[in-house]
Each structure stands twice: as structure tokens, then as C-alpha cells.
């Protein structure tokens, strides 16, 4: 019996992303405000089964005329309920950054996609703009891989409800340049206290500076913590 051969072909894709803030959001007709460049750019990467349109709303309080919040959406969308649950028009849709299938190419594709998005936004940034990346849940691994293998100069890497992906080399210089912060709910059912403590010890042994923020909650975002991060 003949076996199929695996092949790959690069194709163009149309990616979707959402924005909050930036000079265009200023509630003023002042030309001075409208012309000010972005000095703080946040990339916020959603988790498994989420959509960027909904995810970005959590960061509304952090957005402003000089801070632009950008929420890229993962390229792989799917229905969250089976066909028997109802017609396609009524079934919710989510997105995922990757699966285990064709893993390496999936990672390379989203790193390239996020690099392209960053390059498209550069004309709107000040020369000394701070770029911060926040990855939630599955987005934490995506954020880490992009910070380490992409072209974006990350000044702060925030992993929320997720950890560094297991293949991350702890001697990677980019990991030390990015101010690493872990955020977790006290009752997070995925990032448990034991897992978080083990990661803290592992990174401490490798000499990687780390900040940990805990809040009362489960595997979810917390607007109070987002406001805290924005104020720093």
C-alpha cells in the first residue's frame, strides 16, 4: 500500500487584529494630541478558544492616547460546539495559536505573522516606545516564543495563567532582557500553586529575574491587575 508523502507550501493569509487606544482615541480635537506618537505599545495575546475582539475589551482601562493596545487573533479558528448543537450561524467560534499537528511550522507561521504586524505598526511609534507583550494561557507560550525568536524588542514579558514553554532555553539573552512577570489567580485550575512555585525555583536557579503577581481568582483576567500593570 502506498503511503502519502508530507509536503508544505507557504501561502498568503489575511490576519485579523483589534486595537484600543492610540492618538486617534483622544477625546479632543487638539492637533497636538492627535499627532503625538505612541510611546507604549501593548501586544495582548489571547488564550485557547478565545477571539481577539472579546479579549481586547479587558484592557480598555489601560488604553489611552499614548498607549496602544493591539490584540492579534490566532490564525486557526474553529467552532466550539459540534454540528448537532445547531446551525453554524448559532455556534460560537474560537481560535487557537497552534496544536501539536505540524507544530514547528505553526510556531514559525505565528512568529512571522506577529513580526509583520509589529513592523506595520512601527511608523506610529515614538523612537523610544516601550513594547510590552502579555500572553494569557495558551498565549503565554506564544508570547514567549515570539519574544525569543521574533524581531520585536520586548521591554516587559507578562505571562498570565501560563508558563514558559518547556523547550525555552534559559540561557537565551532575550529572556533576560525582557522584564519577566508571571501573573496567576490563587485558584487557577491550570497554573496551580505547586506548578508556579516549581517555575519560580527553576528560574531562580537559572538566575533569571522574575516578578510574580498573585490575585484572588481562577484562570481568568482581572481588570484590577491590568490597571496595576498599566500604572507601573
Residue 27, pLDDT score: 57
Residue 161, pLDDT score: 97
Q: Please, are residues 29 and 37 in contact by the beta-carbon 8 Å criterion?
A: no
34: confidence class by pLDDT, cuts 50, 70, 90 = low
111: confidence class by pLDDT, cuts 50, 70, 90 = very high
The predicted model gives 55-60 an average pLDDT of: 97
Residue 177, pLDDT score: 86
pLDDT at 35 over 90: no
pLDDT at 30 over 70: no
pLDDT in tens, 78-104: 999 989 888 899 899 999 999 999 999
CB-count exposure of residue 91 (10 Å: 0-12, 13-18, 19+): middle
Q: In 3D, which of 202, 139, 149 has the Cα closest to residue 178? A: 149
How is residue 213 written as a grid cell? 503577581
Mean pLDDT across the chain: 93
Q: CA separation (Å) from 228 to 66, 176, 200, 232?
A: 17, 23, 21, 7
Give the total residue count for the chain: 232
pLDDT in tens, 159-208: 999 999 999 999 988 888 889 999 999 999 999 999 999 999 999 999 99
- Residues 202/203/205/210 CA torsion (nearest 10 deg): -140
Percent pLDDT > 90 in the chain is 85
Domain ranges across the chain: 17-231
Q: In 3D, which of 215, 182, 186, 221 has the Cα closest to residue 58? A: 221
Q: CA separation (Å) from 173 to 100, 148, 191, 208, 222?
A: 27, 8, 26, 10, 30
Q: How far is CA 166 from the centre of its chain?
A: 17
Contacts within 8 Å (CB) and 24+ apart, 166-171:
168/144, 170/202, 170/203, 170/206, 170/208, 171/206
**This prediction's pTM:** 0.93
Q: CA separation (Å) from 14 to 54, 113, 130, 132, 150?
A: 19, 10, 27, 24, 19
Q: How far apart are CA 139 and CA 137, in angstroms?
A: 5
The predicted model gives 15-24 an average pLDDT of: 93
Low-confidence winner among 1-5, 27-31, 94-98, 212-216 (lowest mean pLDDT) = 27-31
Helix (H) or strand (E) holding 167: none
pLDDT in tens, 65-75: 999 999 999 99
17-231: CATH class: alpha beta
Q: Is residue 81 classed as helix, strand or coil in its secondary structure?
A: coil
Amino acid at each position: 500500500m502506498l503511503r502519502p508523502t508530507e509536503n508544505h507550501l507557504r501561502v498568503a493569509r489575511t490576519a485579523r487584529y483589534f486595537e484600543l487606544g492610540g492618538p486617534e482615541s483622544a477625546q479632543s480635537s487638539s492637533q497636538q494630541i492627535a499627532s503625538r506618537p505612541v510611546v507604549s505599545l501593548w501586544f495582548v495575546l489571547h488564550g485557547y478558544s478565545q477571539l481577539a475582539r472579546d479579549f481586547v475589551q479587558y484592557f480598555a482601562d489601560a488604553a489611552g492616547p499614548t498607549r496602544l493596545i493591539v490584540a492579534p487573533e490566532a490564525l486557526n479558528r474553529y467552532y466550539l460546539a459540534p454540528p448537532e448543537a445547531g446551525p453554524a450561524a448559532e455556534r460560537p467560534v474560537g481560535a487557537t495559536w497552534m496544536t501539536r499537528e505540524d507544530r514547528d511550522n505553526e510556531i514559525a507561521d505565528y512568529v512571522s505573522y506577529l513580526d509583520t504586524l509589529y513592523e506595520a505598526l512601527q511608523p506610529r511609534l515614538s523612537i523610544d516606545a516601550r513594547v510590552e507583550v502579555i500572553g494569557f494561557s495558551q498565549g503565554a507560550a506564544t508570547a514567549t516564543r515570539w519574544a525569543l525568536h521574533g524581531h520585536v524588542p520586548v521591554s516587559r514579558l507578562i505571562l498570565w495563567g501560563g508558563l514558559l514553554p518547556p523547550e525555552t532555553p534559559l540561557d537565551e539573552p532575550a529572556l533576560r532582557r525582557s522584564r519577566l512577570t508571571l501573573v496567576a489567580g490563587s485558584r487557577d485550575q491550570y497554573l496551580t500553586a505547586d506548578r508556579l512555585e516549581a517555575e519560580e525555583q527553576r528560574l531562580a536557579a537559572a538566575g533569571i529575574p522574575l516578578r510574580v503577581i498573585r490575585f484572588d481568582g481562577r484562570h481568568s483576567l482581572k481588570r484590577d491587575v491590568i490597571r496595576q500593570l498599566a500604572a507601573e
